Chains A and B, each alone.
Chain A
Amino acid sequence: MNKSFVLRWQSQVKKGTLTFIVLNILDKKGELYGYELIENVKDKTSIIIAEGTLYPLMNRLKKEKLVTSKWVEQESGIPRKYYSLTTTGQNTLLEMKDFWKMLEKSINTISK
């Protein structure tokens, strides 16, 4: 087995599916602030990311109008930025899920 090839392939797949994972988590949980979102990504998947890279991703999703965000004041004086899916985001996720199912099915068929 070519171990380094597998590792590189895994990191490509993880990188490529991060958006899909983030959108799914937001869909399930409703509203999360950045740190919570990262914790969820790590909990539910075995993805290890430089945590900071999530913020450029969120920025991009916001620009594409898939998520919205709002600052919520905290007792500590350090506010949290909460993210949630927009209607566009929800509909986009449905499309993505359809595609994912299709892909899963075809991969199951060919890799049997």
Chain B
Amino acid sequence: MKEITFKNKSSTLIYRDYLNRLKKNLKHSSAKDRKNILMEFNSHIFEGIQRYEHTGVNETENLMEVLNKLGDPQDVLKPMIAEKKLEEATRTFNPIHVFKALVLNITNGVKYIFFAFLYLVLIGFLFVIGAKISNPKEVGLYFKDGGFYLLGKMKPQLMESINAKEVLGNWFIPFFLLLTILLYIIVTFLMRITARRK
């Protein structure tokens, strides 16, 4: 990208600082998006300066006025970045992208709080699998009188004394693994659908 040249050194510094703030806010965007947005803002700054140059106004003041009207990079870019991240996350199914998208969008509405909660449940399932691996004798899904009683840890003696039953046995890990995957796909699909509708 061709940078704008200024006569005045402080103008150059202010301009560079603005570009750097843009770049900082664009670091999670793709190289192509980053280049496009930078070029467009650069063009805007150039055009803005041109408009007032002939009036004999001070170069630095002119630049500052243009940047001021353009707005703070973080405020201006946030909605665009949050949306892009969400689109990317739901397209790739990458958990790290999904997590970043949720963090960026959490202030954008109740539905993202709901999604974040579902992901928390998902992490809970993974935790349960980990617990089963480290303590296979006591961790399980317990039923009592034909209904759900406890998902967690129970001493075998207690289980017998209250007449509860562990129902999954060796299927415990495959079952929760499958549940985790299923929930993950469902939640990500839901996010994709609601993101498109916006």
Contacts and interface: CB of A to CB of B under 8 A. Distances in A.
Interface of A: 33-36, 38, 50-53, 55-56, 59-60, 71, 76-81
A56 B80 contact: yes
A38 B47 CA distance: 11
B54 interface: no
Contacts of A51: 44, 69-71
B44 A35 contact: yes
Interface of B: 2, 4, 37, 39-44, 46-48, 69-73, 75-77, 79-80, 83
Contact of A55 (B69, B72, B80, B83): B80
A79 B40 CA distance: 8
Nearest to B48: A35
Contacts of B39: 71, 79, 81
Main secondary structure of the interface of A (DSSP, over half): helix
- Please name the 9 residue pairs, one residue from A and one from B, whose CB atoms are nearest each other, closest first: A52-B76, A50-B71, A35-B47, A56-B80, A52-B71, A77-B2, A52-B70, A78-B46, A51-B70
Given A34-B43, A38-B44, A52-B77, 5 more contacts: A34-B40, A35-B47, A50-B76, A71-B39, A78-B46
Contacts of A36: 47
Given A51-B70, A52-B41, A81-B40, A59 B80 contact: yes
Nearest to A76: B46
A71 B40 CA distance: 9
Contact of A53 (B41, B48, B76): B76
